[in-house]
């Protein structure tokens, strides 16, 4: 599945094929329409460039969609069916409902959420 979805992203000898990981770990905080669009690009870039770790974590404020957690749907379908329906993520994007877990170990964090939600989240990721 990974090779089918990421067709054209892996170069011969790249870490996608070898399983090695780069040193930069990416995380996206915010999974609305724009955050979902950006994490698609982050996921693609993480696969294309050797400086990035394969996995990109996406913090998702947990919501129930048809009785199922949104993070579970995203991780199973590689798609944010609520905010960016029809646009697939690369399978290296992992939705996480816990903010501290999503940014743990990240060397680059991209924030894409309404400004009023940023300040209450800061204590969670202070360290």
Read off the pLDDT of residues 6-58 as tens digits, 9 standing for 90 and up.
445 555 444 444 445 578 999 999 999 999 999 999 999 999 999 999 999 99
Per-residue burial over 71-96, b = 16 or more CB atoms within 10 Å of its CB, e = otherwise: bebbbeebbbebbbeeeebbbbbbbb
pTM summary value: 0.81
Mean pLDDT score, 77-90: 98
Domains of the chain, CATH where assigned: 23-125 (3.40.50.720)
Distance CA 116, CA 52 (A): 30
């Amino acid at each position: 599945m990974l090779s089918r979805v990421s067709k054209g992203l892996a170069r011969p000898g790249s870490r996608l094929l070898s399983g090695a990981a780069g040193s930069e770990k990416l995380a996206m905080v915010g999974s609305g329409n724009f955050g979902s669009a950006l994490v698609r690009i982050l996921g693609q870039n993480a696969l294309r460039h050797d400086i990035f770790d394969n996995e990109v974590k996406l913090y998702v404020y947990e919501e129930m969609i048809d009785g199922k957690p949104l993070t579970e749907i995203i991780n199973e379908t590689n798609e944010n069916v609520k905010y960016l329906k029809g646009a697939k993520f690369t399978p290296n994007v992992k939705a996480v409902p816990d903010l501290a877990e999503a940014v743990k170990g990240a060397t680059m964090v991209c924030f894409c959420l309404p400004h009023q939600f940023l300040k209450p989240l800061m204590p969670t990721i202070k360290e």
